[in-house]
A and B are shown apart, each in its own frame.
Chain A
């Protein structure tokens, strides 16, 4: 019931959306595709959900070929597209009922699967879907994608445009669904969500940069990372860019993350340089790398 992707390539006109992508998702795994907009995540989802045909390569979902057995796949996957794609003029309940009916089931039959999510939107069940908040919409869309008890669940950026609290809830729900033997492929541009997946593929420009468990990706980060802060952020960015020792420097929250070309680089070296540039309130601390650091390093 897993997913297998072998040497998939897809181009639109001259743009190469996917370039020789291969990976496996094990049955029951929560697998994340992490990457910025334009990385090719949506194209990959559409190929796996049988909506597009790849130019090259082959893929199977739950053992079925995405081109030849598309009818079988359409029966057993749940798909939540990146854009909110429910009927805005139908109420919450009508939407859910509609999707249950076209998959030949009823809300009652699979209620236990969606119960956790649905209880949160049930108070609004007579509200039109178009009038829900962003988080509510996503919960409804997930309920609709789950209503027929799919074997494989495809979630294309389910948390984009959702507030942090709802995002956290959403991921808790996904974790619980995983317990019910559903294979989940999820994409997100938020690096902090990557740590919640079993395994992730870091994607950019239609290619996979690295594929591993999130912890392994962090552990394989090759350099020491320093977080840097001074009174003048803008001048700090300029100065770090021209520093001869700099390997990389990019903003990370209220800090700058800095790596050096030298392996035995010390915080004092940087403090000395910044003092020379007349910075005040200098703060340089060694810190743990994150998925985002790995991504920045890999996509350099």
Chain B
């Protein structure tokens, strides 16, 4: 036990004396959460649009007022004719144009139908889509307003309610994802680097010719990083609560326990990587390429798993991050407990044990 504590003490010296790894440990999480939370978002805010109003009557004015009153759009320009539309798009100053047809009010009153055309700049298809959805919904709410007093026969009323994230804030989706990525990267990369560093500097040679057992070396490497990763997780959760007003509906202790489980999972993966790579460089590349891309692409963080081709859906099952994101969303947004998350938890436990067993088995007691 004293040997073990001595080993852990040594690891902490390494960590705190290496400014670079300290920065990765504590700087990266904060920067990433902020980046994902603020900059990378698929919501739209204050998008510049232009209006081409051929009728300029009471109804179009009301619609335009409604649109400019919303926080999603700001009206940048009023165009005079169709030819200006493309020029405006090409200048890149506006993302969309609303084109009201001639005699809008008159048609609406006499023919019960008037048309407004939404033109969007689809060089960025996601934004274009969102813009057209938002404008459509503003128009349909205006339409409801007009029909307030009139009863239309055979009407299907659609009531939509977004559960768990009523305002559809993308932060709610990113925080669990980013937390997963960061914990995975920091934990896996740092341990794999710290073990391969011993190989590279030759200190592993001395550690091998000592009474330290393989699992003592491995666990001794892991314990400091569990502590540091937990601190990281706490920082991320605090940031998401206080900066992004992310709710934590479920049990905080369960959240903590599941997070530690996932950290152990990532650490054991890191050890596994270090047992197969000979240099810090390789360990870093394998951690980055082998972990970051699958976590981002296949975990369901950004792209929904249900819309992936079948083979990729199968592969996504073996990615620990996929299960942890489900757990995080479950606890933070839905407020569910272990009763609903036992399956995902069990999968993570199983994977962790598997990785640890494999690393102990693969850990070389000799140099070759």
- Give chain A's interface residues, CB within 8 Å of chain B: 46, 49-53, 70-71, 74-75, 77, 79, 81, 83-90, 94, 97-99, 101-104, 144
Interface residue stretch chosen among B12-20, B57-65, B140-148: B12-20
Beta-carbon contact of B10 and A79 below 8 Å? no
The residues of B that contact A103 with a CB separation of less than 8 Å are: 210-211
The residues of B that contact A46 with a CB separation of less than 8 Å are: 367
Min distance, Cβ A74 to any Cβ of chain B, angstroms = 5
Taken residue by residue from 299 to 325, chain B's Cβ proximity to chain A (1 for < 8 Å, 0 otherwise) reads as 000000000000000000000000000
| Tally of chain B residues near chain A (CB < 8 A) | 26
The residues of B that contact A49 with a CB separation of less than 8 Å are: 209
6 contacts between A and B (CB under 8 A): A51-B208, A74-B211, A79-B205, A98-B7, A102-B3, A102-B207
Please name the residue on chain A nearest to B367 by beta carbon: A51
Beta-carbon contact of B202 and A83 below 8 Å? yes
**Measured between alpha carbons, how far is A75 from B208 in the docked complex, in Å?**
10
**Measured between alpha carbons, how far is A75 from B211 in the docked complex, in Å?**
5
Please name the residue on chain B nearest to A74 by beta carbon: B209
**Measured between alpha carbons, how far is A89 from B211 in the docked complex, in Å?**
23
Beta-carbon contact of B2 and A94 below 8 Å? no
Beta-carbon contact of B2 and A101 below 8 Å? yes
**Measured between alpha carbons, how far is A81 from B17 in the docked complex, in Å?**
25
**Measured between alpha carbons, how far is A276 from B270 in the docked complex, in Å?**
74
For chain B, what secondary structure do more than half of its interface residues adopt (helix, strand, loop), or is it mixed?
A: helix
Name B14's contact: one of A51, A77, A89, A97 (CB within 8 Å).
A89
Closest 8 CB pairs of A and B: A101-B6, A85-B202, A79-B209, A51-B367, A89-B17, A83-B202, A49-B209, A75-B211
Please name the residue on chain A nearest to B6 by beta carbon: A101
Beta-carbon contact of B203 and A87 below 8 Å? yes
The residues of B that contact A77 with a CB separation of less than 8 Å are: 209
Beta-carbon contact of A104 and B211 below 8 Å? yes
Min distance, Cβ A17 to any Cβ of chain B, angstroms = 12
The residues of A that contact B7 with a CB separation of less than 8 Å are: 98, 101-102
Judge if B289 is at the interface, Cβ distance under 8 Å: no
Beta-carbon contact of B10 and A104 below 8 Å? no
Name A104's contact: one of B2, B13, B205 (CB within 8 Å).
B2
Name A50's contact: one of B13, B17, B366 (CB within 8 Å).
B366
**Measured between alpha carbons, how far is A104 from B9 in the docked complex, in Å?**
15
The residues of A that contact B10 with a CB separation of less than 8 Å are: 87, 90, 94, 98
Beta-carbon contact of B6 and A98 below 8 Å? yes
Judge if B162 is at the interface, Cβ distance under 8 Å: no
Judge if B201 is at the interface, Cβ distance under 8 Å: yes
The residues of B that contact A75 with a CB separation of less than 8 Å are: 211
Beta-carbon contact of A70 and B6 below 8 Å? no
**Measured between alpha carbons, how far is A88 from B366 in the docked complex, in Å?**
23
Min distance, Cβ A213 to any Cβ of chain B, angstroms = 29
**Measured between alpha carbons, how far is A81 from B207 in the docked complex, in Å?**
11
The residues of B that contact A71 with a CB separation of less than 8 Å are: 211
Beta-carbon contact of A104 and B3 below 8 Å? yes
Interface residues of B in 188-233 (CB under 8 A from A): 201-203, 205-212
The residues of B that contact A104 with a CB separation of less than 8 Å are: 2-3, 211
**Measured between alpha carbons, how far is A83 from B13 in the docked complex, in Å?**
22
Beta-carbon contact of B211 and A85 below 8 Å? no
**Measured between alpha carbons, how far is A90 from B203 in the docked complex, in Å?**
12
**Measured between alpha carbons, how far is A74 from B14 in the docked complex, in Å?**
25
The residues of B that contact A70 with a CB separation of less than 8 Å are: 365
Min distance, Cβ B223 to any Cβ of chain A, angstroms = 15
Beta-carbon contact of B210 and A102 below 8 Å? yes
Judge if B124 is at the interface, Cβ distance under 8 Å: no
Beta-carbon contact of A94 and B13 below 8 Å? yes
